[in-house]
Amino acid sequence: MTARVAVIAGDGIGPEVIAQALRVLDELRQRGVDVEVWELPLGAEQYLKDGTTFPLELRDEVRRTCAAVLLGAVGDPRVPGGEHAHDILLGMRTSWDLYANVRPVRALHDRLVPLRDKTRHDVDLVIYRENTEGQYVGAGREHGRGTAAEIAISREVHTRRGVERLLRAAFDFAQERGWPLVMTDKSNAIPAQGIWRRVLAELRAEYPSVVVEQLYVDALAARLIEHPERHRVIAASNLFGDILADQCAALAGGLGLAPSANVHPAAPGHIGLFEPVHGSAPDIAGRGLANPLGAIRSLGLLVAHLGHAAEAARIERAAEEVLARKECTPDVGGTLGTVAAGQAFIDVLRAV
């Protein structure tokens, strides 16, 4: 059965890296990955033209008819309020209840690991970040902006349902892999985050084979630098997961390589959103400098979501090989531009 995939190239370097990911997808289609691509012209250009962000009826059609969405990046300095980016990205995450942001972090070559005496084998973990609650719900208010008495208040929201389902997804993955799990919070300073520890204590009895640890986020951030090899699965709130995932991406070669999946693990077949995490990078947009590997590896997560695990594994092997050959962009040790790096990847993919 043909799976329909919506593609939103978006802003900045998004169209450049997504173009290379789609070239890779064309290769996979020749090998039996049966997908139909539906490209949606959403982003800052459309918003500036007619005010369109992501119309509700279109978002509903995508939800009904597509198995997955591949997103490049959203964010443009010409839209300082980020209205279109909010509606596109957060609209999909929240309206489709994509409660788990899954961030695999795996160093693909020793030279990319910036830590002394550590190799690529020491950086191999997955972060499960809660994706619909926490500090990103937009709850709060401001008083007296621009005055000496200015006050800004932000609230965070953690529900038992939200915490439990994210932790359960992390537990399930850890149990499947035979990996240890660490849950992180800051409940010693923010008592409301104690819900994470309470739910963790309840769930761990259901997963006796999983080695479980709980660490305050500042301690975990430090230990990830000192001993990244001690960590395999990390479960975190929206804010802490966001921060730690970018920190860990730096340990594996940088954001240009980092893929992500926004999924609803409790319901197999639920639509998923897949995107590189480097952002729109407007400072290098249009210059042919963007690293396409984050987008290509996100495509790998997407095809795995569609049931093509072998092709996803081929993508990872090809990424390792182009980095080993230095047939990649300058940010990861090569000399190629975006298009040439995409072609180098395809050449290797055909051989692995």
Q: Do the two domains 1-99+264-352 and 109-255 of this chain adopt the same fold?
A: yes
Domain 109-255 class in CATH: alpha beta
Strand partners, 126: 104, 233
**Percentage of the residues of the chain whose pLDDT score is greater than 70:** 100
Does the annotation count 186 as an active-site position?
yes
Burial of 167 (0-12, 13-18, 19+ CB in 10 A): buried
Q: Which of 76, 87, 242, 331 is catalytic?
A: 242
Kindly report which listed range (13-17, 150-154, 159-163, 182-186) carries the lowest average pLDDT score. Answer: 150-154
Q: Which of 97, 124, 172, 246 is catalytic?
A: 246
pLDDT of residue 1: 84
Q: Which of 124, 172, 186, 207 is catalytic?
A: 186
> d(Cα 123, Cα 110) in Å, to the nearest integer?
10
> d(Cα 166, Cα 103) in Å, to the nearest integer?
13
> d(Cα 286, Cα 324) in Å, to the nearest integer?
26
Domain 1-99+264-352 class in CATH: alpha beta
Does the annotation count 110 as an active-site position?
no
Tell me: pLDDT of 180 over 90. yes
User: Taking the domains of the chain in order of start, what are their residue ranges?
Assistant: 1-99+264-352, 109-255
DSSP, collapsed to helix, strand or coil, labels residue 102 as strand
Banded pLDDT at 234 (limits 50, 70, 90): very high
pTM score, whole prediction: 0.96
The arithmetic mean of pLDDT across residues 208-220, rounded, is 98
Q: Which of 26, 218, 283, 347 is catalytic?
A: 218
Does the annotation count 218 as an active-site position?
yes
The arithmetic mean of pLDDT across residues 41-49, rounded, is 96
Question: Cβ contacts of residue 287 below 8 Å, gap of 6+?
Answer: none
Tell me: pLDDT of 139 over 90. no
In the predicted model, what is the mean pLDDT of the chain? 97
Rg of the chain, C-alpha, whole Å: 20
Q: Which of 11, 128, 136, 331 is catalytic?
A: 136
